[in-house]
Every structure is written in C-alpha cells, then in structure tokens.
C-alpha cells in the first residue's frame, strides 16, 4: 500500500522544497473563500480570550510549522510578544518567511529551521506555542505535542489547528467525475494523523485542553480553470504524467470531460486551546 503523501519523507522535497506549491494552493483557496474567518485572526482572538491580561506579556512566542510566515506576521503584529520564533523543517520556506515578514517594530523576529519533534527551544520558555496545519505531517503527532508541552511556560498557552478528514471532498468528486483520478474519492485523507476528530485526544496526555472550536470554511471556485489551480497542488491524486503541478493541463482535461460550472466545497477548521498539565489559571 502506498504511504500517505503527507507522512511520506520521500515526498517532503516535492511538498515544501520550494514555496511554489503552497503559493498556488493558498492563492486558489483564498480567492475561492466565501465563509470562515482568517485563521491567524482566530488564533489571536483565542489567545486574548484564554490568556486574559497575560496576552500582553507573552514573552517568547513560537509559530511551529510556520511555512512562509503568514501567521507569524499576524501573531507578531497583533500580540506584540517580545520575541517570535518561526520554526519550520523546510529551508526554502524559512528563507521565504524571512524575506516576506522582515522587521516588525518592537518584536525580535527569528526564523529557524528545525523539527517540531525536537525544537531548538529551552524548556518552559514560551508564553504561546501555535501549531497550525502542520501536525498532520507527523507520524507521531502526540510526541510533537509533548514537545510543545516541554517548551511552554507553566502559564503558557498552546493553540493547535487542523482540518477535518473529509475536507474538500467535492473536489475529490470532481477529479473522479472527470476521470483525472477514478479513485480520487477513495484515497486516505491527507489529514489522517491529526484531524478535527482526534486532535483533542492527541493533546490530552500532555496538555490540559481548555477549549475546542470548530468552524466551517466554505470555498466557491469560479469554474474549471480556478478549480484546476487547487487540484494541481493536491499530492493525494494519482494523475496522468504532466498534470500534477500543471493547472493549465489539468484545466484542459476538466473542460474536456465535465461541463464547466462553479464548484463549492468546504473544510471544518478545528482549534484546540490548551495549557501545560496542572497549570493554574
Ligand atoms: C501546510 S504548511 C502550514 C504553514 C502555516 N503554519 C500556515 O498555517 O499557513 C505545513 C508546514 O509544516 C512544516 N513541517 C512539516 N513537518 C515538519 C516538522 N517535522 N517540523 C517542522 N515543520 C514541519 C512544513 O515544512 C510546512 O511549512
């Protein structure tokens, strides 16, 4: 049986060796978005709600699996910690984050390459640890969460963010209907390791869970050209050679086999807010 692409070390370079796949995917999804709050803004709201006055005294914040630094910038600008470390395993994304985020007044910004199972961060040092859309890349997400517990101060807060297993399933149906990948609806979810349905249970052995929020995000793609921009970035599909990473060719196949029309899909986003075991409020 083939390994889930999000858990396959052999596919890491293809997924995150360059920023282009993430850029294409985010741009297609952002233009399609019709409902759902921006994720970094929701993280900030949850931190303010659960950290109260301490949200003004966060000290060190770590943005785990920071990617291109989109959420790192919002966390730094809105929460004004004294220091923010963006940590990511992919050197290309760390370089991109440094370029995109630059300097932020009053915040010492630092982007580090590292593995979230062994973070180069001292014990009990962080006022806030955010891990958004990255724990599903771990074959051992509970170990990564134990590592988050290690770096949190006793009064620190963790915000973990993931998606539902069946996210974007209408896109799978489109890929199957067009014959791009007849098995498109039967592949294992990319989010199987850490998803909306198991994130609380993954956190519980090492963190006290304060809240879990689920929000439905909806996306309407204009038609095949727009849908192809998303489909071409999805590593789950078994596509004919030349289609993965090639929205133009993929759109041509869609036009050939399915009438063009807008397509709506969704993804439940789950936020788990937690603090170190036994911490007092
Ligand atoms: C989908 S991106 C999420 C980026 C960002 N957090 C966001 O919300 O837009 C997942 C990120 O997790 C990173 N990642 C995957 N495995 C990792 C690991 N073991 N340690 C650190 N980062 C990892 C990838 O390199 C990638 O940048």
Show the domain range for 23: 5-167+189-221+262-276
- Binned at pLDDT 50, 70 and 90, residue 174 comes out as very high
Q: Which residues line ligand 1 (CB under 6 A)?
A: 16, 65-67, 70-71, 88-90, 93, 115-117, 132-134, 137-138
- Tell me if residue 132 falls in helix, strand or coil: strand
Lowest mean pLDDT among 17-21, 91-95, 120-124, 202-206: 17-21
pLDDT category at 108 given cuts 50, 70, 90 is very high
pLDDT digit string, tens, across residues 35-78: 999 999 999 999 999 987 777 789 999 999 999 999 999 999 99
Beta bridge partners of 135: none
Nearest atom in ligand 1 to the alpha carbon of residue 67 is: 27
172 assigned to some structural domain: no
Task: Say if residue 281's pLDDT is above 80.
Answer: no
Is the pLDDT assigned to residue 33 strictly greater than 80? Answer: yes
CATH of the domain at 95: 3.40.50.150
Question: Taking residues 150-163, what's their average pLDDT?
Answer: 97
Mutate to test the pocket of ligand 1, among 11, 24, 87, 137 (most ligand atoms within 8 A of CB): 137
227 lies in some domain: no
Number of domains in the chain: 1
The answer to whether position 88 is within a domain reads: yes
Residue 161's pLDDT is 98
Mean pLDDT of 88-95: 97
Q: What value does the mean pLDDT take over residues 203-232?
A: 97
To the nearest whole percent, how much of the chain has pLDDT over 90?
A: 94
Asked, for residue 215, whether it belongs to a domain, the answer is yes
Using the predicted structure, report yes or no on whether residue 135 has a pLDDT greater than 80: yes
Flag whether 41 is in a domain.
yes
Q: Is residue 151 part of a domain?
A: yes
pLDDT-based confidence at residue 104 (cuts at 50, 70, 90):
very high
Lowest mean pLDDT among 128-137, 180-189, 217-226, 272-281: 272-281
| Ligand 1 atom closest to Cα of residue 70 | 9
- Give this prediction's pTM: 0.97
Q: Return the residue whose CA atom lies nearest to atom 14 of ligand 1.
A: 65
Both tokens of 222, joined, read 């204009």
Cα-trace Rg, the chain: 19
Q: Would you say residue 131 has pLDDT above 70?
A: yes
Residue 245 included in any domain? no
Q: Specify the pLDDT at position 54.
A: 77
Q: Which two tokens stand for residue 192?
A: 């199987």
Distance 22 CA to ligand 1 centre (A): 10
The verdict on residue 254 lying in a domain is no
Distance (angstroms) between ligand 1 centre and the Cα of 135 equals: 8
Residue nearest atom 26 of ligand 1, based on CA coordinates: 67
Please state the rounded mean pLDDT for residues 16-26. Answer: 94
- Ligand 1 site-directed mutation target among 36, 65, 138, most atoms within 8 Å of CB: 65
């Amino acid at each position: 049986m083939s390994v889930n692409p999000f858990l396959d070390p052999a596919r890491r370079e293809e997924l995150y060796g360059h920023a282009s796949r993430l850029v294409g995917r985010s741009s297609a999804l952002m233009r399609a978005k019709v409902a759902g709050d921006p994720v970094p803004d929701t993280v900030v709201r949850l931190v303010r709600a659960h950290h109260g006055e301490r949200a003004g005294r966060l000290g060190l914040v770590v943005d785990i699996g920071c990617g291109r630094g989109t959420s790192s910038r919002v966390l730094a600008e809105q929460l004004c910690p004294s220091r923010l470390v963006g940590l990511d395993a992919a050197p290309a994304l760390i370089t991109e984050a440094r370029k995109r985020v630059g300097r932020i007044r009053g915040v010492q910004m630092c982007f580090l390459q590292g593995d979230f199972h062994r973070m180069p961060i001292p014990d009990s040092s962080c006022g806030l640890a955010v891990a958004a859309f990255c724990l599903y890349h771990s074959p051992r997400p509970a170990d990564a969460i134990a590592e988050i517990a290690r770096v949190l101060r006793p009064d620190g807060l963790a915000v973990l963010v993931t998606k539902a297993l069946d996210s974007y399933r209408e896109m799978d149906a489109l890929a199957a209907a067009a014959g791009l990948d007849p098995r498109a609806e039967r592949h294992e979810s990319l989010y199987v390791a850490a998803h909306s349905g198991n994130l609380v249970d993954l956190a519980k052995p090492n963190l006290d869970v304060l809240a879990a929020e689920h929000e439905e995000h909806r996306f309407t793609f204009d038609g095949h050209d727009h849908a192809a921009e998303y489909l071409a970035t999805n590593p789950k599909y078994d596509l004919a050679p030349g289609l993965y990473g090639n929205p133009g060719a993929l759109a041509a196949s869609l036009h050939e086999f399915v009438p063009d029309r807008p397509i709506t899909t969704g993804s439940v986003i789950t936020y788990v807010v937690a603090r170190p075991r036994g911490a007092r409020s």
